[in-house]
A and B are shown apart, each in its own frame.
Chain A
Amino acid sequence: MTTKAHRVNDLSWMIGGPQGSGVDSSANTFARACAHAGLNVFGKREYYSNIKGEHSYFTVRASSGTVRSHIDDVHVLATFDAETAFRHIREVVDDGAIIYDPSLAKTKVSDVPTIEHRLQGELKTYLIARGVGETLDDMLTTAKQRGVTLIPLPYNGLLEQIADEFKVDALSKIARMVNMLAVGASLGTIGLGFDFTVQALNDVFRGRTSTVNMNASGARKAYEIGKSLAPDFGYRLEEIPRREPRLFLSGSQAGALGKLYGGLRVQTYYPITPASDESEYLESNEVLDLDGHGAPEIEDSTFVKEKGASVLVVQTEDEIAAITMAIGAALTGARAATATSGPGFCLMMEGIGYASINEVPVVITLYQRAGPSTGMPTRHEQGDLRFALHAGHGDSPRILLASGDFEEMIRDGLLSFNYAERYQMPVIHMVDKALANNSATIAPPDLSDLRIDRGRMVLDGNGYSPEHPYHRFELGDDPVSPRAVIGQHGTLFWNTGDEHDETGHITEDPVLRDLMMEKREAKLQLAAKEIPDSVKFHYFGVKDAETVIVSWGSTKGPILDALDGLLAEKESVGFLQLRLLNPFPSDAVMTYLAKAKRRIDIEMNFSAQLGGLIRERTGVDMTHLVVKYNGRPMSNTELHDAVKAIIHGKVPHRTVLTHGA
């Protein structure tokens, strides 16, 4: 065995298996073990629209530095079925490793019905070209020839030992433990101290001591096998002391936390992937505490002391009911929201128009997924920008705010409510499948600057009387009228989907119609003026760069990671991340993008929707487009390579990224 230079604390690990076999919890355990060791982790989850049996996989990057995305390379592939090995073995780097079940060695590609015909053909061609047969053994042989370390893990034998040790009468009862065996073998291979695995198991199986013990015992056995079979493996993880706590969370949780912090009190939803996780998390935490921030006048108040706070989560019959029920709740003064994905958002359009004409503050969190129609329900896309911007008939002002990472998801949860109430219109908070299902360690965000702004609200004892009546849609110098809520004394109002007069009664008067249309539009102008640049956009990288990337949403992670690499290579690159997409931050585009020699629009959709919008709103044209629409999020690797190729003039106007299984 030759001694190699080890690559320490920069690892890309993947585990896969049939849906329902516990891939998620094993990946969670692996990621948590790394996190407990002080490493930063980023996890990406891929799965079919299926309950049991189809292939799902999870990649985890662990690093001493910042990680915000996945890379194309896999350093360690952990498998316990044949399909995962067949599908992903070609992604393993030459000096990487694969953990597999030797009892499956004779399985043929064509024995795995869940591998699509196209991929079966591709795999067979790959194997034939290398002069081998089509079994897993053959596939492993090709990998070994490249230098990949093979780590056979005798899953059945290990399960038998565990069954014996813990007096389990049937192996089927502990069959799911193969996951944790794969995790144990992985961590043994890369040499991370076993204690972290135990800590992670304690997190994952919180309070279930016997489960923890059994899994720890199994993982330990597999750990030793990994360690002994690859004693000098080139990729290592080592503990990094960390003095500060970090959060390890998913985007769905970040979305829910932001909304709660922002005062969400009613959330409606209809089940849909990938949005439901947020609502389920909220419902699991429906009884809330209040915090007086140490200020005695708040701490001592009854409403804080008695902790009478809650969020009501309502599962509706469809998304039409979800949006309209949220509107009803908002009319009473509750901060109300719904969360959905594209197909559900389609059903919400009439509600959005209604909220717009009635100036109802309601928030819609839109978890985009691959469309059109049912599309690929569990796969990623940013294909709804144009749709969210225009959803509904007529001109109906709304605000669009797009988050690019977990911290932004938290902050934007609160800001969405603020803008909805301040400008009295629907706010569509744009997020997506990648954000929802990614998990990562982040520094606990400093939210101390955030304040709740309810806008122009009419308070009790407001002085309105029959002689001086309240008008919900008062026309004045301020396009934002004082807002009362249902149930308040002295402020009766009416709402209607028809055009209305100042009290809210139906009108078809042409003069009033003009005034109301102009009032509603003026609120958008006001929002454009008031919302600070720090919310509208972020700019990263070289000032006045030759090449400026523009994008929105979850591409932020891989773009920032790619940018680090490009800057290290002394490229003159910058990145303009647009966050407020309506009203559109035209000034930022003109300032940061217009003068660049190369203007690259990077988006996870077919038609480069933001690129088109920029041109529409500013006249600025993109010199290059980088798009992806295969349902798999962009990687650091492919973005780095795509931008590099553009800078060096090697590619045409449009680049289509295709990586991902």
Chain B
Amino acid sequence: MALEQVLRAQDYATEVHNDWCPGCGDFGILRTIQMALAELKLDPYRVAMVSGIGCSAKTVHYIKTYGVHTLHGRVLPVAQGIKLANPNLEVVAVGGDGDGMGIGGAHFVNAGRRNLDMLYILHDNGVYGLTKGQAAPTLKLGVQTKSLAHPNINDAINPIWLALAAGATWVGRGYSYDVKHLKDLIVQGIRHKGYAFLDVLQPCPTYNDINTKEWYGGEDRAEQNGGRALPRVYKLEAANYDPVVHDPTEIEDKAKLALEKALEWGDRIPIGVFYNNEHVPDMGERIRQRIPTYYERTPAEQRFAGPHGEPLTDIRKLLARLTIPPSA
């Protein structure tokens, strides 16, 4: 799938007019996806970018690969349909927090059970932007962003916990304003053999006036830090955190560690890889156990018609089992 020719990040950009608000965290995610595709030398024709609905969903229109902008909450089943039918494609799904944790919640948990070899990037900004700022499932209880009539009456889902509970085998979190770090996470997520989930903290400059770039960057805490901003986000790898399940006997301990880390919020917000387990067979491998030719003869690429449209699927054996032989 890797290309001979050198493509730069901008070669993965379309000419479609980008209508995100100035300063939107989506720009960082878009840019890092393009950088990651370039770094991995992925052939644009062998990549499917799939999205749900909302601001984040427009991402696929700005990327020069196959792009499928789906329905609200349905990014994962469409993405999985593409990957299952052609397991040799690279599939990257992107969606908002409302899309993935709210209307698409059932798909989120069931994607974990399948462990298909793909990456899902969650644009996590706590609000429904395109419908003008309602509370999303990742907004904390009691927080009142500027469009809300009252403080948020629901508590927040913890996407890292939910992804781990559902069975994602690679779970990470990035920050849309730390472009290089986020790009590295996307590269790792795509390379991971299995279902990778990447939560991306992404300020919405228009509707989330609480979790802003300045807030993540800790500009309000400069006084504690001798006048310099004291960022809230910190990198797990810099804190000597080892997310890797080196041996299947470590699964339980590493999962506990990840769950514990994922509870941190407020003054210390970890970003990086929380959990990385390559000891669970991905769904493609599980299918191959039953259908040995799955990767060589993918459902997408099988031939089932002859040169003149003759149906080639041989149902004679099946018919034979249903046949009553002549009685005389």
Contact = CB atoms under 8 A, between A and B. Distances in A.
Interface of A: 32, 35-38, 239-249, 253, 257, 260-263, 265-266, 268, 285-293, 295, 297-298, 303-304, 306, 308-312, 314, 316-318, 320-322, 324-336, 350-351, 354, 414, 441, 444, 447, 450-454, 485-498, 504-506
Contact of B305 (A260, A324, A452, A486): A452
Given A329-B81, A505-B16, A293 B310 contact: yes
23 contacts: A240-B327, A245-B323, A247-B324, A265-B299, A289-B314, A289-B316, A295-B310, A297-B307, A298-B310, A317-B110, A320-B107, A321-B77, A324-B71, A327-B81, A333-B86, A334-B85, A336-B85, A452-B309, A452-B310, A487-B46, A492-B65, A492-B66, A493-B66
A82 B290 CA distance: 46
B74 A304 contact: no
Interface of B: 14, 16, 44-46, 48, 50, 53, 58, 60-61, 64-71, 73-74, 76-86, 88-89, 106-107, 109-110, 287, 290-291, 293-294, 296-319, 322-328
A248 B318 CA distance: 12
A448 to B, nearest CB: 10
Given A312-B84, A351-B71, A494-B60, A321 B106 contact: yes
Which are the 6 A-B pairs with shortest beta-carbon distances?
A328-B81, A241-B328, A451-B309, A308-B297, A263-B304, A291-B314
Contact of B67 (A297, A321, A490, A495): A495
B318 to A, nearest CB: 6
Given A245-B323, A324-B77, A265 B328 contact: no
B312 A265 contact: no
Contacts of A505: 14, 16, 61
Nearest to A254: B322
B305 A248 contact: no
Contact of A303 (B46, B68, B88, B303): B303
B189 to A, nearest CB: 20
Contacts, number: 272
B75 to A, nearest CB: 9
B309 A332 contact: no
A268 B328 contact: no
Nearest to B291: A310
A499 to B, nearest CB: 12
Residue from the set A286, A332, A414, A451 with the largest chain B CB neighbour count within 10 Å: A332
B322 A247 contact: yes
Nearest to B303: A303
A312 B287 contact: yes
Contacts of B303: 290, 303
B66 A450 contact: no
Contacts of A248: 322-324
Contacts of B61: 494, 496, 505-506
B313 A485 contact: no
A615 B219 CA distance: 71
A489 B319 contact: no
Given A246-B324, A291-B312, A333-B301, 14 more contacts: A249-B322, A265-B304, A290-B303, A290-B313, A293-B310, A298-B306, A310-B294, A322-B77, A331-B82, A333-B85, A334-B302, A451-B310, A493-B66, A494-B61
Contacts of A414: 311
Contact of A329 (B50, B60, B70, B84): B84
A318 B318 contact: no
Contacts of A336: 81, 85, 299
A241 to B, nearest CB: 3
Contact of B77 (A37, A304, A328, A491): A328
Contacts of B315: 257, 260-261
A287 B311 CA distance: 16
B312 A298 contact: yes
